[in-house]
Each structure stands twice: as structure tokens, then as C-alpha cells.
């Protein structure tokens, strides 16, 4: 059985917006809220060039990546055609106005993915 971990209230997430959830290892998890107060969770990383999806514009059940405007489905993490790619999904539970994520997933899901480097750091790694 999965163990649900309480993250925040639904109201802590702006309508048509999102919050980042930091974890012990791996990139943040982005939790999104749409106009119907549904909550979704994806790894905070666009499958295209690793942009932080939590910073994108939320519309319908999609988010537009802030870097190059890829449209990512909040339900399945899939990029809209003809773009191809998928952001890892995280299970979410909403109960009496509180948002829960799966503790196991938070600890271990998609912890291998990283953000691209920028600045002087990218020359060192290149």
C-alpha cells in the first residue's frame, strides 16, 4: 500500500497556477491547480529542454512550458502533437481540501533526471 504524504492545501496553489514541491533527492515535483480545482502533479521538467513546468501558464488541463511553449498535458504528462515527449507523472490525492503525494514516489520516482546547465557551469560540463 502506498503511503500518502500531506503536501499543502488546495488553496495554497493559485488557481490556474502551480507550486513546486522540493524533495530530498531529484528535481522538484510541480503541483498544478486548474479552474475546476483539480490538482495534478508532474516532475517539474519539460521533456523538451528541461524547463521548469511549474513556471508555465496553466489552461484547461494543460501547461505551456515557460522556455519554448511546448504544451504538456497535466493528466498524462504528454507533449501535444506533433511534439513528442512525456514528463513523469506523480500520483495525487485530494481530500477535504488537502493535497497528498505518494511518499514512495516522492522518494524515488524520476530522481535521475536533471536540469540542463547554464552559465560558466555549462562550459565545464561540456
Partner 1 sequence: MQKSKLVMVGNGMAGVRTLEELLKIAPDLYDITVFGAEPHPNYNRILLSPVLAGEQTLEEIVLNPWEWYSDNHITLYTGKKVVQVDRVKRIVYADDGTEAEYDRLLICTGSNPFILPVPGKELKGVIAYRDIADTNEMIETAKTHKNAVVIGGGLLGLEAANGLMLRGMSVTVIHVQPTLMERQLDSVAGKLLQKSLEERGLKFLMGAQTQELVGGGDADGQRVTAIKFKDGTEVATDLVVMAVGIRPNTQLAESMRLHCNKGIVVNDTMQTVTDARIYSVGECAAHRGIAYGLVAPLFEQAKVAANHLAQFGIGRYVGSLTSTKLKVTGIDLFSAGEFMGGEGTEEIIMSDPFGGVYKKLVIKDDKLVGACLYGDTVDGSYYFKLLRDGRSVADIRDKLMFGESNIGDVGHEGHSKAAAMPDNAEVCGCNGVTKGTICKAIKEKGLFTLDEVRKHTKASASCGSCTGLVEQLLMFTAGGDYSATPKLKAMCGCTDHGHQAVREAIRANKLLSIGDVYATLDWRTPNGCASCRPAVNYYVTSTWPKEAKDDPQSRAINERSHANIQKDGTYSVIPRMWGGETTANELRKIADAVDKYKIPTVKVTGGQRIDLLGVKKEDLVNVWKDIGMPSGHAYAKALRTVKTCVGSEWCRMGTQDSTQMGKDLERAMWRMYAPHKVKFAVSGCPRNCAEAGIKDVGIIGVDSGWEMYVAGNGGIKTEVAHFFTKLKTPEEVLEYTGAFCELYRQEGWYLERTVHYVNRVGLDYVKKKILDDHAGRKALWEQLQFALDGEPDPWFDFEEAAVDTRQFIPITAV
Binding residues for partner 1 (CB under 8 A): 5, 7-8, 12, 14-17, 19-24, 28-29, 31, 34-35, 49-52, 55-60, 62, 64, 66-67, 69, 71, 82, 101, 106, 115-121
Between 120 and 126, name the residue whose CB sits nearer to partner 1.
Answer: 120
Residue nearer to partner 1 on the CB measure, 52 or 73: 52
- Long-range contact set of residues 23-30: C-beta below 8 Å, sequence gap at least 24: 23/106, 23/107, 23/111, 24/107, 25/107, 25/111, 26/109, 26/110, 26/111, 26/112, 26/113, 27/110, 27/113, 27/114, 27/115, 28/52, 28/54, 29/90, 29/101, 29/106, 30/54
State the nearest-atom distance from the C-beta of 2 to partner 1, in Å. Answer: 14
Amino acid at each position: 500500500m502506498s503511503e500518502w504524504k500531506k503536501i499543502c492545501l488546495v488553496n495554497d496553489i493559485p488557481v490556474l497556477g502551480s507550486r513546486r514541491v522540493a524533495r530530498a533527492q531529484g528535481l522538484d515535483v510541480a503541483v498544478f491547480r486548474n479552474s475546476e480545482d483539480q490538482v495534478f502533479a508532474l516532475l517539474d521538467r519539460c521533456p523538451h529542454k528541461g524547463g521548469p513546468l511549474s513556471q508555465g501558464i496553466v489552461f484547461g488541463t494543460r501547461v505551456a512550458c515557460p522556455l519554448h511553449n511546448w504544451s504538456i498535458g497535466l493528466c498524462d504528462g504528454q507533449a501535444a502533437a506533433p511534439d513528442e515527449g512525456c514528463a513523469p507523472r506523480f500520483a495525487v490525492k485530494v481530500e477535504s481540501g488537502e493535497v497528498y503525494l505518494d511518499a514512495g514516489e516522492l522518494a524515488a520516482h524520476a530522481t535521475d533526471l536533471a536540469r540542463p546547465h547554464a552559465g560558466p557551469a555549462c562550459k565545464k560540463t561540456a
